[in-house]
């Protein structure tokens, strides 16, 4: 290879940083194209094959569930969902995720299933799953978009700058991470903090929906447009979605959901803080009302 000057190395690094490649995932480069080519040409294994012999039974069950081998009601999964180690289409992966979450009877089981799920390509570039923070018993659950760099490094949602503003928003109505539960629509960091694609959101939606169902809060607060659109099943703007409660069906009961501006947006556009404050007051009032 041609010798590069330090200026040229600097330019290459700057190019990567601008393209969103801002974290080294390993010490040595990995050729993912070669990996995918090998995967594509390898004979398909029966569902459940490929588990290491020392894989604990719970992890095996989780992995089989995540791979679509077990369906919601225990019936055999369709053949298309069974090979979710590398699903070929987003709708296959979303189907595998929907089937997998049915096996999760509590949040720990859901987390194990998500750890084993291979259907979302973001998992390959993220350093870890960012499942949740706060109190899963809380009456209110905040749902953001996707982890950023700090969240990816620490494995906890909202621990960067936006997270510090979220903490202030919580404090403004007497909440903190012991009285609120916090998660994201997409639990793996998109490279360069880009917005998750509609396909990535669709694949991960069954996970957050099940997480809400299992945490069973009285109120869900959607932080920002991607969260509000995904959970409220709407294409409307955040300005239209925010500020009022709508019913949200968890799967076992009807709770209330409200959207507000994402703290990262508020850092860029502080003018929105006034409306966000009104939204937080609405959350406070709803919590008080429900407690009476
Ligand atoms: N933004 C989000 O939507 N979620 C996080 O966890 C951090 C930043």
Tens of pLDDT, residue by residue over 45-59, are 543 333 343 444 444
Atom of ligand 1 nearest to the CA of 151: 6
**Contact predicate 121/96, CB 8 Å:** no
Q: What is the pLDDT of residue 167?
A: 98
Q: What pLDDT is stored for residue 133 in this prediction?
A: 98
Q: What is the DSSP string of the chain?
A: -----HHHHHHHHHHHHHTT--S--SSS---HHHHHHHHHHSPPPPTTTT--TT--HHHHHHHHHHTTSB-TTSSBPPHHHH-TTS-SSHHHHHHHHHHHHTT--SHHHHHHHHHH----THHHHSSS----EE-TT-SEEEEES---HHHHHHT-SS-SHHHHHHHHHHHHTT--TTT-EEEESS-SPPGGGPPPPHHHHHHHHHHHHHHHHHH--SEEEEESHHHHHHHHT--S-HHHHBTS-EEEE-SSSEEEEEEE--HHHHHH-GGGHHHHHHHHHHHHHHHHHHH-
Q: What is the mean pLDDT of the chain?
A: 85
- Among 147, 149, 167, 186, the mutation site with the greatest number of ligand 1 atoms within 8 A of its Cβ is 147
Q: From ligand 1's centre to the CA of 146, what distance in Å?
A: 5
Q: Which atom of ligand 1 is nearest to the CA of 263?
A: 1
State residue 32's pLDDT score: 73
Q: Which atom of ligand 1 is nearest to the CA of 182?
A: 6
Pocket of ligand 1 (CB under 6 A): 144-148, 151, 157-158, 160, 162-163, 184, 264
Task: Give the per-residue pLDDT at 47.
Answer: 39
pLDDT top residue among 16 and 114: 114
Q: Which of 142, 152, 160 to mutate to test the pocket of ligand 1 (most atoms within 8 A of CB)?
A: 160
Q: Which ligand 1 atom lies nearest to the CA of residue 157?
A: 6
To test the ligand 1 pocket, which listed residue (126, 129, 143, 148) has its Cβ within 8 A of the most ligand atoms? 148
Tokens describing residue 171: 């404090």
For residue 130, which atom of ligand 1 is closest to its CA? 6
Partners of 140 in the β-ladder:
219
Q: Which of 121, 123, 136, 69 is nearest to 96 (CA)?
A: 69
Q: Which of 3-7, 71-75, 227-231 has the highest mean pLDDT?
A: 227-231
What pTM did the predictor assign?
0.76
Residue 18 — very low, low, confident or very high, per pLDDT cuts 50/70/90? low
Band (291; pLDDT cuts 50, 70, 90)? confident
Is the Cβ–Cβ distance between 73 and 102 less than 8 Å? yes
pLDDT surpasses 90 at 255 = yes
Query: 4 or 138, which is more confident?
Result: 138
Nearest one of 72, 41, 65, 39 to 51, comparing CA atoms: 65
144 C-alpha vs ligand 1 centroid, how far in Å? 5
The CA 39 to ligand 1 mean position distance, Å, reads 32
How confident is the model over 233-247, as a mean pLDDT? Answer: 97
Among 130, 146, 154, name the best residue to mutate to test ligand 1's pocket (greatest count of ligand atoms within 8 A of Cβ): 146
Q: What is the whole-number distance in angstroms between the Cα of residue 113 and the centre of ligand 1?
A: 21
Tens-place pLDDT, residues 114-166: 999 999 999 999 999 999 999 999 999 999 999 999 999 999 999 999 999 99
Q: Flag the least confident range among 14-18, 104-108, 112-116, 250-254.
A: 14-18
Question: Separation of 67 CA from ligand 1 center, angstroms?
Answer: 27
Question: Has residue 251 got a pLDDT over 80?
Answer: yes
* Higher-pLDDT residue of 69, 88: 88
């Amino acid at each position: 290879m041609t010798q590069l000057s330090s200026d040229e190395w600097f330019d290459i690094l700057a190019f990567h940083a601008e393209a969103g490649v801002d974290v080294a995932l390993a010490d040595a480069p990995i050729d993912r194209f070669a990996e995918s080519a090998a995967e594509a040409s390898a004979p398909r294994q029966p569902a459940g094959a490929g588990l290491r012999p020392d894989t604990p039974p719970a992890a095996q069950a989780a992995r089989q569930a995540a791979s679509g081998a077990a369906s919601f009601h225990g019936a055999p999964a369709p053949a298309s969902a069974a090979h979710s180690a590398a699903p070929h289409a987003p709708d296959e992966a979303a189907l595998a995720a929907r089937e997998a979450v049915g096996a999760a009877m509590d949040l720990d089981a859901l987390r194990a299933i998500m750890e084993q799920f291979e259907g979302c390509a973001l998992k390959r570039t993220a350093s870890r799953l960012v499942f949740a923070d706060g109190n899963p018993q809380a009456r209110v659950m905040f749902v953001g978009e996707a982890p950023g760099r700090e969240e990816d490094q620490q494995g906890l949602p909202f621990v960067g700058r936006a997270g510090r503003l979220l903490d202030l928003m919580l404090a403004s109505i007497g909440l903190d991470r012991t009285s609120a539960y916090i998660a994201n629509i997409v639990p793996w960091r998109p490279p360069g903090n880009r917005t998750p694609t509609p396909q990535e959101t669709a694949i991960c939606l069954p996970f957050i929906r099940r997480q809400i169902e299992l945490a069973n809060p009285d109120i869900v607060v959607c932080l920002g447009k991607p969260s509000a659109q995904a959970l409220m099943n709407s294409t409307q703007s955040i300005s239209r979605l925010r500020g009022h409660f709508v019913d949200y069906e968890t799967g076992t009961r009807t709770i209330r959901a409200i959207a507000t501006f994402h703290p990262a947006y508020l850092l860029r556009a502080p003018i929105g803080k006034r409306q966000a404050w009104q939204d937080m007051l609405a959350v406070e009032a709803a919590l008080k009302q429900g407690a009476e």
